[in-house]
Amino acid sequence: MNCWMNIAAESDFSIYNLPFGIFSYKGHDPRVGVAIGDSIIDLVLAHDAGVFHDIALPLEVLHTDTLNEFIRQGKSVTNAVRNRLQDGLTKENSKLHHIKDTFVKQAEATMHMPVEIGDYTDFYSSIEHATNVGKLFRDPENALLPNWKHLPVGYHGRASSIVLSGTPLHRPKGQMKPAEGNPVFGPCKLLDFELEMAFIVGKDTKLGHRVTTSEAKEYIFGMVLFNDWSARDIQKWEYVPLGPFLGKSFGSSISPWVVTMEALEYFKVAGPVQDPEVLEYLKYEGDYNYDVHLEVLIQPEGDEENTISKSNYKFMYWNQLQQLAHHTVNGCNLRIGDMMASGTISGKDEESYGSLLEITQAGKKTLQLKNGVERKFVQDQDTVIMKGYCEKDGRRIGFGEVRTKILPSID
Amino acid sequence: MNCWMNIAAESDFSIYNLPFGIFSYKGHDPRVGVAIGDSIIDLVLAHDAGVFHDIALPLEVLHTDTLNEFIRQGKSVTNAVRNRLQDGLTKENSKLHHIKDTFVKQAEATMHMPVEIGDYTDFYSSIEHATNVGKLFRDPENALLPNWKHLPVGYHGRASSIVLSGTPLHRPKGQMKPAEGNPVFGPCKLLDFELEMAFIVGKDTKLGHRVTTSEAKEYIFGMVLFNDWSARDIQKWEYVPLGPFLGKSFGSSISPWVVTMEALEYFKVAGPVQDPEVLEYLKYEGDYNYDVHLEVLIQPEGDEENTISKSNYKFMYWNQLQQLAHHTVNGCNLRIGDMMASGTISGKDEESYGSLLEITQAGKKTLQLKNGVERKFVQDQDTVIMKGYCEKDGRRIGFGEVRTKILPSID
């Protein structure tokens, strides 16, 4: 496909992508937009211009501050919108060309949270990460717990504190337990990121009903990058027996553009062989891993960006279909906008570890950055950036980035 | 105070209570109501009649299907409304007497979920319950984990599947691990209730900011009864290392009337002595336990109700101020409508255990019910009922009940 717009070859937002987001600009209310190159198509203005005249798409689901009601129209509508835009970007004589002056430069827009998140679930689906953490937090000889290969372990996370890329977070305070003596209170000392991706639920389910792996695809709208910030010292003391709580709930960060599963379809690959064989309800057909190149960068205040990890979403042991089928197998209902994160995405090599906990072996090793700077964990005023893109046969689509600066604790 | 209405002495909804809820009747939209005796005061009609003429209370926060926007008006408004009603119920010449014909019989009304729940947190704040479960699930010699007396352990739960009293739930299916051999899939065999109470957040907080124990009171609107349904066999296999997930998320049940903290004020009592001393941020002044008599009943299909537990909310080791201060100490933001449950409320005696897990010692003992019926865990078609009330010096207020029938798994 050739786009009549001038789009940089390395752009995340090629004509093959067309992700949805919520943006505002020049005093206009938030609304649904689609990213293309360095621009945004304002879908409210496109609707006004009749671009969607034969698609059953009420204007009010575009002129609003979350994607939830747009997603609720169903894939037949949201795919028709995306296909119409794709078509209109290849044909100079389409209605889309005629409204090109209404396109907004991304640099002039403000992005907003793309969805209202009902519930947020975090999985733990990278075998390398689960093994690494098990070695560090528990028993090096039995790093992987007995259930891990039988089900996609997950837990409920905090939805209220999920923030958009660009929103700074304060270093959390909390209770920590030194190796010797009583617990103490203060700012977390072992602040860490977790490189994750998250999918967004695209269809409600009914309480008591399950979604099978073969149906699951219809229930997933799209994906974002996800930084599951973690305070390792708070987490380590609090997490038994009911799981992570304040070590995570001070904030998680997401990228603003929701890349659809249809855009990602072209980049599917086979997942790892699952041995032992999984129970029937977790079996699936076809390839459902995705080849997404991921990168983590850290930028100390006033300094350069340093790439500190390169991983890939294709490493996941458990895929989305399995995560979703497992999540609903007990009858738990899903709502449009629910977010399900992957868990930290680590690869086999040290260069592909998705957290500082793993990269520095819980602080035993020092990470050497440019200009003589060193890190074991994240320091105040550091910015952590995550990026992700797919590339195959000259076709490239990307997620943009999730970028978060850490500010000192509030007194 | 004497009410001009005829209210039964054993009514939960005396003039001292006046809880808020959402109800509908005779084809009318859902709206805010206040329970009194066997009736409901329709606050939309009371507003129309000028009862709140000098209170800054927009009609639209009453004529809606959740209490969230009503609560958002702040305690100065919600308390003024409650005080006005209390006053109007004692004076025959008030506007309230003049609209008594608009009162709705509870038997003719349909109750709805009282709030839209943003996030739901479950604590684990009964020392007796934590000890009992620790013995059964882990190590009888070290039942209480090292962190338990230093912080109010809690975890994030699933908000989407919290349902109102009267809503039946299907027995969850899931993965379970027999003592020997591979995990299996099927309907849960060890279905249990957990007797809890939950408070509802009444004021938003800002991400990065904490609420101290001395401020916490202003952030709590009121309370409901809470049944934290638990599938023990699913939970036991899945819960390491990240906590309960599908063993809980198939459903939790709440009572419909939100009893305000102001109504409960009169029933405050001292909590247990906390030893070891807690960290500074968890210290508080005054008494913040509540003497609420709790009862669990089980009713097999077509049979009688059987009281199987009598407990009390005053047994809590960690109180609400500590729970809320702990929850926000890392900067986690709260939203109006967030629900925070206590964890299972067990007392010292077997008769006061708040779950079948504890009552039957994980099925080792059999519970003898009336008419020769026996139970170890909850069976299909059983109804579980929880009730709660406070009584002191002839003043009685109550929570009504949370009642849930268990239906078979859906195929």
Among candidates A137, A242, A330 on the partner chain, residue whose Cβ is nearest the Cβ of B234: A330
Average pLDDT over residues B56-82: 98
At B16, the amino acid letter reads Y
Residues of A in contact with B250 (CB under 8 A): 207-208, 330-332
For residue B139, how many other CB atoms are within 10 A of its CB? 10
Q: Which two tokens stand for residue A404?
A: 């978060």
Judge contact between A196 and A341, C-beta under 8 A. Answer: yes
- Indicate yes or no: CB of A118 within 8 angstroms of CB of B163: no
The chain B residue lying nearest A241, using CA atoms, is B243
> What percentage of chain B reaches a pLDDT higher than 90?
97
Catalytic residues of A: 129
Per-residue pLDDT tens for B355-402?
A: 999 999 999 999 999 999 999 999 999 999 999 999 999 999 999 999
Nearest to B241 by CA among A345, A150, A243: A243
Q: Which two tokens stand for residue A23?
A: 């943006």
Among candidates A119, A279, A280 on the partner chain, residue whose Cβ is nearest the Cβ of B159: A119
User: Chains A and B: how many Cβ contacts under 8 Å?
Assistant: 221
Per-residue pLDDT tens for B92-143?
A: 899 999 999 999 999 999 999 999 999 999 999 999 999 999 998 888 898 9
At A100, the amino acid letter reads K
The greatest distance separating any two alpha carbons of chain A, rounded to the nearest whole angstrom, comes to 74
Per-residue pLDDT tens for B250-270?
A: 999 999 999 999 999 999 999
Q: What is the pLDDT of residue A392?
A: 98
Residue B136 has what DSSP assignment? H
Question: Alpha carbon of A411 to those of A186, A232, A407, B331: distances in Å?
Answer: 10, 21, 12, 11
Residues of B in contact with A246 (CB under 8 A): 326-327, 329-330, 332
CA distance, residue B150 to nearest chain A CA (Å):
8
The chain B residue lying nearest A324, using CA atoms, is B246
- Indicate yes or no: CB of B153 within 8 angstroms of CB of A238: yes
Task: Look at residue B144 and give its three-state secondary structure.
Answer: coil
The chain B residue lying nearest A276, using CA atoms, is B182
Among candidates A134, A174, A326 on the partner chain, residue whose Cβ is nearest the Cβ of B330: A174
Q: Which two tokens stand for residue A247?
A: 């070590």
Residues of B in contact with A158 (CB under 8 A): 119, 156, 332
Q: How far apart are CA B99 and CA B39, in angstroms?
A: 13
Question: Alpha carbon of A119 to those of A67, A196, A338, A340, B126: distances in Å?
Answer: 15, 17, 5, 8, 26
Question: Alpha carbon of A104 to those of A164, A398, B404: distances in Å?
Answer: 20, 19, 53
Q: How many C-alpha atoms does A305 have within 13 Å on its Cβ side?
A: 13
Judge contact between A30 and A24, C-beta under 8 A. Answer: yes
CA distance, residue B68 to nearest chain A CA (Å):
15
CA distance, residue B147 to nearest chain A CA (Å):
7
Average pLDDT over residues B326-343: 98
Q: How far apart are CA B46 and CA B2, in angstroms?
A: 21
Residues of B in contact with A277 (CB under 8 A): none
- Indicate yes or no: CB of A156 within 8 angstroms of CB of B245: yes
Nearest to A260 by CA among A79, A11, A106: A79
pLDDT at B1 exceeding the cut of 90: no
State ipTM.
Answer: 0.97
Nearest to B37 by CA among B111, B112, B107: B107
At B82, the amino acid letter reads R
Residues of B in contact with A163 (CB under 8 A): 207
How wide is the angle at C-alpha A224 spanned by C-alphas A218 and A227, nearest 5°?
Answer: 135
How wide is the angle at C-alpha A293 spanned by C-alphas A15 and A36, nearest 5°?
Answer: 20
Q: Could you tell me which residues are beta bridge partners of residue B154?
A: B123
pLDDT at B323 exceeding the cut of 90: yes
- Indicate yes or no: CB of A331 within 8 angstroms of CB of B250: yes
Q: What is the pLDDT of residue A201?
A: 98
Q: Is the dihedral of CA A137, A139, A141, A146 positive or negative?
A: negative
The chain A residue lying nearest B408, using CA atoms, is A208
- Assess whether the previous peptide bond of B300 is cis (omega < 30° from 0): no
- Indicate yes or no: CB of A241 within 8 angstroms of CB of B281: no
Q: Which two tokens stand for residue B241?
A: 């290392």
- Indicate yes or no: CB of A245 within 8 angstroms of CB of B155: yes
Residues of A in contact with B338 (CB under 8 A): 160
Task: Categorize the per-residue pLDDT at B349 as very low, low, confident or very high, splitting at 50, 70 and 90.
Answer: very high
The chain A residue lying nearest B206, using CA atoms, is A161
Q: What is the pLDDT of residue A314?
A: 98
Among candidates A122, A151, A210 on the partner chain, residue whose Cβ is nearest the Cβ of B238: A151
Question: Which H or E run contains B114?
Answer: none
For residue A295, how many other CB atoms are within 10 A of its CB? 17
3-state secondary structure chain A: CCCCCCCCCCCCCCCCCCCEEEEEECCCCCEEEEEECCEEEEHHHHHHCCCCCCCCCCHHHCCCCCCHHHHHCCHHHHHHHHHHHHHHHHCCCCHHHHCHHHCEEHHHEEEECCCCCCCEEEECCCHHHHHHHHHHHCCHHHCCCCCCCCCCCEEEECCCCEEECCCCEECCEEEECCCCCCCEEEECCCEECCEEEEEEECCCCCCCCCCCHHHHHHHEEEEEEEECCEEHHHHHHHCCCCCCCCCCCCCEEECCCEEEHHHHHHHEECCCCCCCCCCHHHCCCCCCEECCEEEEEEECCCCCCEEEEEEEHHHCCCCHHHHHHHHHCCCCCCCCCCEEECCCCCCCCHHHCCCHHHHCCCCCCCEECHHHCEECCCCCCCEEEEEEEEEECCEEEEEEEEEEEEECCCC
CA distance, residue B384 to nearest chain A CA (Å):
18
Among candidates A147, A207, A244 on the partner chain, residue whose Cβ is nearest the Cβ of B161: A207
Q: Return the residue in A164, A230, A330, A407 with the most chain B beta carbons within 10 A, the one to mutate for interface testing.
A: A330
Buried b (16+ CB within 10 A) or exposed e, B117-130: bbbbbbbbbbbbbb
* Residues, chain B: 411
Q: How far apart are CA B264 and CA B270, in angstroms?
A: 14
Judge contact between B395 and B16, C-beta under 8 A. Answer: yes
Q: What is the pLDDT of residue B411?
A: 81
Among candidates A183, A329, A409 on the partner chain, residue whose Cβ is nearest the Cβ of B173: A329
Q: How far apart are CA B315 and CA B269, in angstroms?
A: 10
Q: How many C-alpha atoms does A340 have within 13 Å on its Cβ side?
A: 29
Q: Is the dihedral of CA A373, A378, A379, A382 positive or negative?
A: positive
Q: What is the pLDDT of residue B138?
A: 83
Q: Which two tokens stand for residue B349?
A: 């005696």
Catalytic residues of B: 129
Residues of A in contact with B251 (CB under 8 A): 207, 331
Judge contact between B253 and B163, C-beta under 8 A. Answer: yes
Buried b (16+ CB within 10 A) or exposed e, B263-292: bbeebbeebeebeeebbebbebeeebbbbb
Residues of B in contact with A187 (CB under 8 A): none
Q: How far apart are CA B81 and CA B85, in angstroms?
A: 6
CA distance, residue B276 to nearest chain A CA (Å):
10
Question: Which H or E run contains B225?
Answer: strand B220-227
Task: Look at residue B303 and give its three-state secondary structure.
Answer: coil
For residue B206, how many other CB atoms are within 10 A of its CB? 11
Q: Which two tokens stand for residue A291?
A: 């080849």
Residues of B in contact with A118 (CB under 8 A): 159-160
Backbone phi, psi, residue A245, to 5°: -140, -95
CA distance, residue A248 to nearest chain B CA (Å):
9
pLDDT in tens, chain A (411 residues): 899 999 999 999 999 999 999 999 999 999 999 999 999 999 999 999 999 999 999 999 999 999 999 999 999 999 999 999 999 999 989 999 999 999 999 999 999 999 999 999 999 999 999 999 999 888 889 899 999 999 999 999 999 999 999 999 999 999 999 999 999 999 999 999 999 999 999 999 999 999 999 999 999 999 999 999 999 999 999 999 999 999 999 999 999 999 999 999 999 999 999 999 999 999 999 999 999 999 999 999 999 999 999 999 999 999 999 999 999 999 999 999 999 999 999 999 999 999 999 999 999 999 999 999 999 999 999 999 999 999 999 999 999 999 999 999 998
Q: β-strands A39-42, A31-36: how paired?
A: antiparallel
Question: Alpha carbon of B99 to those of A286, B3, B31, B45: distances in Å?
Answer: 66, 15, 17, 8
Judge contact between B98 and B49, C-beta under 8 A. Answer: yes
Nearest to A246 by CA among A256, A259, A233, A255: A233
Among candidates B150, B174, B332 on the partner chain, residue whose Cβ is nearest the Cβ of A161: B332
Nearest to B364 by CA among B124, B135, B177: B135
Nearest to B198 by CA among B296, B125, B273, B106: B125
